[in-house]
Structure 1
Amino acid sequence: MSELINGILYEKRHDIIINNMSDGIYYYFDYDERSFQVNMDFQHFHSFYEIHILLAKSASHLVEGIPYTIHAGDIVLLRPSLLHKTIYPQGAPSRRLIINFLYPQEYLDSHPAFSRILEPFGQDIPIFRFDQEKTAILSDMLNQVFLLSTRSMPSDILNTMVHAEFTRFLYRLWELRSFNVYVPEKFESPLSEKIYQITSYIHNHYSEELSLESLAEQFYISTYYLSHRFRQVTGYTLIHYIQMTRIRSAQYALINTREKITDISAACGFTSFSQFNRVFRKFCGVSPSDFRRDPVTSSFPTHSA
């Protein structure tokens, strides 16, 4: 039985799947809930676009090492390869709507307008919050997709209609992007802000030479203090975090490009291929070449140091 939660039609474990990722235009709408117990240890990424709409009171989203507090109705936009994770609070499970979608490159090439309406996914702050009127407009469009999925119709007609309705949603989101009122909340302490500045720097400079000493000097902090506080705030040693970030980028390149593995190794900041191969095996349990052949059954770095 469906219900209306913060303007969004919702039914637990209801999903809408249009095609497979390898079959062209792909959509996956997932109406479900998550609890504190399933919070991931580390961030992950996808090769597709993702929209996260929180229906519960509040949660947190970590994107490229930066934490964001989100409230009911906030829209989190995640472009492919963006490292992220949602942190749900303790207590009752949090309801949410997750939308994954992917358009083949040839489709985007022949429909250049999609590059425009996907621009909100490239904003520096990936969270969108609108006033009640604009939120209702966007919610109604998503509710049309939900209602379509409950009707009896041929699958090809359903696929076409969902694509049309969701395209309208993306267009309206693009049209309303300048009305975003989301403002990131302040960090808990100057220490947390400093550490998250460093994690953000790592995500943007992982291809360069990074070390405890160089980062401590750049951010005007002692090596001892950085080493100790970094693990206190993030749960990871600095070196472990740098390696995970580099491996994430290597995984994305292995899946989505045909670049030589040695070139990927260098582009991700590893000083030698033997080092890259050793660290990749440490985190993923397989060699880079084995991962490229079968990424589905391979793991992503989630364990703590």
Structure 2
Amino acid sequence: MNEGEKRGYLKRDFEVFHIKDKKSIEFKYHHHDFHKIVFFISGGVTYHIEDRTYDLEPWDILLVGNTEMHKPVIDGNKIYERIVLWVYPDFLKKNNTVKSNLLECFQISKERDYHRLRLPLEELSEIKRLLKELLGCRGSEDYGTDIMEKLLFLKLMVELNRLFLKKGDEKEEEGISYDKNITALIKYINRNLSEDLTIDKLSSRFYLSRYYLMHRFKEETGTSIYSFIIQKRLIRARELMREGMSVTEASSQCGFKDYSTFVKAFKKSYSCTPREYLKELNKPQISKEGLQNIDF
């Protein structure tokens, strides 16, 4: 995959990349319009997803939902190899059946605050086989390759859902760290985006000093509480707009007291106004800001 292809728009329902590089890149907390699955192969990487920090081992699998803030911290002295899948939620939804929901693995990982699959070797063999065949479809002009690629991708999603469901409530805690106070705070923020979420109100609710709350949040997530809340409100506003809500109503529902503040924050994050975004909904693409923050 060449650099231009990596940094271009996500023009299809799903995409798969196999990347092996040695770069020291510092990412900010961000999110994507699409779901992401990372198959970690080698390197030195710690992945932050919402309030959780995952120290990765070879063939750990990470699921990152499209509304979840995340960032990788990469050791630039080691070769970082991984296979990354991007998929738009609507594509999976279109391929759901009465009995099978292909979005279930993402829903489970979000509900249980558990984004990692660490599998025994015997369960990895089928995943590796499907990934190899899927990557083999890239660039092929053979008859029916596009159909085979879609079928392989859907089969891979079926396998991942089966594995997530099989694990049930079982959680492997090794290599995962989090602060219970910050976890509770993030859950509260996510559930109360329309409310008054000032530092004073939050510190009072959680019986923690302003300084400790701000310092600990930044230490755990790498971003400020204020920035996190703004991004979460913008993510929710875009969801509501995609569902048909007006721009002004979405702004109000997500806790922006002033419409001009909402427009300014939206444009800063996505390089377009909310109304321009609505016009582009049928042309899926990553914003200029998003392109700078893409973590393959």
Q: TM-score, normalised by structure 1?
A: 0.76
1:174 is aligned, of 126, 151, 161, to 161
Give the match's secondary structure for 2:32: coil
1:288 is aligned, of 262, 265, 274, to 274
Count matched residues.
280
Cα offset for 1:293? 3.3
1:178-236 CA-to-partner distances (Å, cap 9, x unmatched) read 24763254537xxx553354234323432322111221122221123223443444443
> In structure 2, how many angstroms separate the alpha carbons of the residues matched to 1:209 and 1:186?
31
Contact 1:64–1:200 at 8 Å: present in 2 too? no
**Cα gap change, 1:141/1:260 in structure 2, threshold over 3 Å: closer, same or farther?**
same
Cα offset for 1:259? 1.5
**Cα gap change, 1:225/1:81 in structure 2, threshold over 3 Å: closer, same or farther?**
closer
2:87 is aligned, of 80, 101, 108, to 101
Partner residue of 1:153? 142
Instruction: Specify the code of the residue in structure 2 equivalent to 1:116.
Output: N
Instruction: Specify the code of the residue in structure 2 equivalent to 1:119.
Output: E
Instruction: Specify the code of the residue in structure 2 equivalent to 1:138.
Output: I
Partner residue of 2:118? 129
1:144-183 CA-to-partner distances (Å, cap 9, x unmatched) read 22334476512xx001111222222222222222247632
**Cα gap change, 1:49/1:195 in structure 2, threshold over 3 Å: closer, same or farther?**
closer
Partner residue of 1:141? 130
- Identical counterparts, % of pairs: 19
Partner residue of 1:237? 224
Partner residue of 2:182? 195
2:192 is aligned, of 185, 205, 223, to 205
**Cα gap change, 1:153/1:181 in structure 2, threshold over 3 Å: closer, same or farther?**
farther
**Cα gap change, 1:259/1:225 in structure 2, threshold over 3 Å: closer, same or farther?**
same
Contact 2:43–2:78 at 8 Å: present in 1 too? no
Instruction: Specify the code of the residue in structure 2 equivalent to 1:130.
Output: L
Structure 2 alignment gaps of length 5 or more = none
Cα offset for 1:63? 1.9
Give the match's secondary structure for 2:42: coil
> In structure 2, how many angstroms separate the alpha carbons of the residues matched to 1:212 and 1:127?
31
Partner residue of 1:267? 253
**Cα gap change, 1:289/1:216 in structure 2, threshold over 3 Å: closer, same or farther?**
same
Cα offset for 1:301? 11
**Cα gap change, 1:76/1:13 in structure 2, threshold over 3 Å: closer, same or farther?**
farther
**How do 1:111-130 residues align onto structure 2 when only pairs under 5 Å count?**
111-112=96-97, 115-123=100-108, 124=112, 125-130=114-119
> In structure 2, how many angstroms separate the alpha carbons of the residues matched to 1:13 and 1:54?
20
Cα offset for 1:78? 2.6
Instruction: Specify the code of the residue in structure 1 equivalent to 2:208.
Output: I
2:75 is aligned, of 67, 81, 89, to 89
Structure 1 alignment gaps of length 5 or more = 1-11
**Cα gap change, 1:161/1:187 in structure 2, threshold over 3 Å: closer, same or farther?**
closer
Cα offset for 1:108? 3.9
> In structure 1, how many angstroms separate the alpha carbons of the residues matched to 2:156 and 2:100?
15
Give the match's secondary structure for 2:27: coil
Question: Root-mean-square deviation (CA), in Å?
Answer: 3.5
1:52 is aligned, of 38, 56, 62, to 38
Bigger RCO (CA 8 Å, 6+ sep): 2
Contact 1:36–1:87 at 8 Å: present in 2 too? no
Contact 2:39–2:62 at 8 Å: present in 1 too? yes
> In structure 2, how many angstroms separate the alpha carbons of the residues matched to 1:27 and 1:300?
17
Structure of greater Rg: 1
Matched, 1:214 2:201: yes
Instruction: Specify the code of the residue in structure 2 equivalent to 1:195.
Output: I
**Cα gap change, 1:119/1:229 in structure 2, threshold over 3 Å: closer, same or farther?**
closer
1:89-120 CA-to-partner distances (Å, cap 9, x unmatched) read 23123111111123656x84574258524311
Q: TM-score, normalised by structure 2?
A: 0.78
Instruction: Specify the code of the residue in structure 2 equivalent to 1:136.
Output: S
> In structure 2, how many angstroms separate the alpha carbons of the residues matched to 1:175 and 1:235?
33
